[in-house]
Amino acid sequence: MLVLALVTVLALLGLGIGGVWWATNHYGDQVSRIPHAFPDGSRPPKGDAAEGTTFLLVGVDSRSSKPTTGREATTQLWKYGAQRSDTLMLVHLGPGERTASTVSIPRDSWVAIPGHGSAKINAAFSWGGPPLLIQTVEQLTGVRVDHFGVIDWYGFRSLTDAVGGVPVTVPESSYDPEQHRHFTAGTHTMDGSEALAYVRQRHGLAGGELDRIERQQQFLRSLVGEVRGEVSVADPFGTARMLDAITRTVSVDDGMSNGDLRDLVFGLRNLHASDARFATAPIVRSEMIRGQYALILDRAKLRAACQAIESGAPPTRGGSS
C-alpha cells in the first residue's frame, strides 16, 4: 500500500497531464527497483475473468539498524536466513484502479513452501527472498502476482515520522510483555517508533496475530489519510517532502516501469477510502507444529476469495472458526 500511497500522492497533485508526466518520471526514477524479483518456471496464469492488477506488498523484519529497502538502503534486502516477512498483503486493484481489495495473510500461516516442505509462510522470504515468497503465495492462492513491493521497519518508522505522526484509535488498553510497552485506550498521534510497536504487537492481545492484522489494516487507512492530507499544490515543499519520504523507503520489482506508475496515477485519482476493502485469510484453527505456534488456513476458501477479487468481487472477511 505504500507503493499505492506514492501514486495516490502524485494523482492528488492535480497538475494536469504535463505535470503528472514529469512527476512520475522524476519520482519514479527515485524508486528502488528489485532485480529478478519473480520466480523462474511455471506460474499461475491470469484467470479467464481476471481484471486489474495484483500486488504482493510485504513488510520485512530484517533485524537491521540500517535500511534494506528504498533508495537509501545500505544493506542487502535479502540474505539467506537474515530476514523474514512480517506483514503480507495481497492487493488487487480493479479495472481503472477504482477499487482496491486487500487480503492479509498471517505470518504464522502454515503452508507448503516449494522445495522446503511445510513451514510458516514468513520463512519463504528468509529462505529464498522475493522469488520464493512470490512462488509460495501464488501456489497458496492460485493468483498470479503482477507486482511486488516491500518496505522494512526502518522505512516504516521514517515514513510515519515524515507525515508528522499518524493518529490511531486504540480500542482498549493492553500491555505487550515482549516489547515491554503499554498501550492506552484512546486516540493518539503515534510517531514512527510508537506506531511500529503498535502494529507489531500480538502478545497481550486476546486475538493474537489476528488482532495484529486488524491493527495493521487500521493503521494503513490512517496513514494513507495522512499522506493525502500532506499533499497540497499550495505547499509544494511539503508535497516534495512526502514524495521524497515515500521514494526513500520503498522498493518495487524492476518490472514496474515509470509508465506503470503513471497509469496508476490516472486511475487512482478516482479511488476513495470507501472503495478500499480489507479481509484476512480464513483460519481453521491454531496448533503447535514442531514446537512452533502455527495457523492452519482454510485453503479452499482462501483460493476462492483471492480468485474472486481477481475477477472483481469484494473480499469476504476471514477469521477463526
Is residue 230 over pLDDT 70? no
Q: Which residue has the higher pLDDT, 296 or 233?
A: 296
Burial of 258 (0-12, 13-18, 19+ CB in 10 A): middle
Element (H, E) at 286: strand 283-289
Query: Which of 51, 135, 44, 5 has the alpha carbon at shortest distance from 309?
Result: 51
What single DSSP character describes residue 158?
Answer: H
The pLDDT assigned to 12 comes to 47
Burial of 71 (0-12, 13-18, 19+ CB in 10 A): middle
Say if residue 289's pLDDT is above 90: yes
Looking at residue 236, its pLDDT comes to: 56
The residue ranking higher by pLDDT, 193 or 6, is: 193
pLDDT tens digits for 50-107? 678 899 988 887 666 677 777 777 777 777 766 677 788 898 887 765 677 889 899 9
Which pLDDT does position 154 carry in this prediction? Answer: 80
pLDDT at 291: 93
Distance CA 109, CA 60 (A): 16
Largest CA distance in the chain: 58
**Contact between 174 and 283 (Cβ < 8 Å):** no
pLDDT at 234 over 70: no
pLDDT of 98: 66
Give the pLDDT score at 139: 96
DSSP structure class, residue 77: S
What residues form DSSP beta bridges with 109?
295
Give pLDDT tens digits for 109-139: 999 999 999 999 999 999 999 999 999 999 9
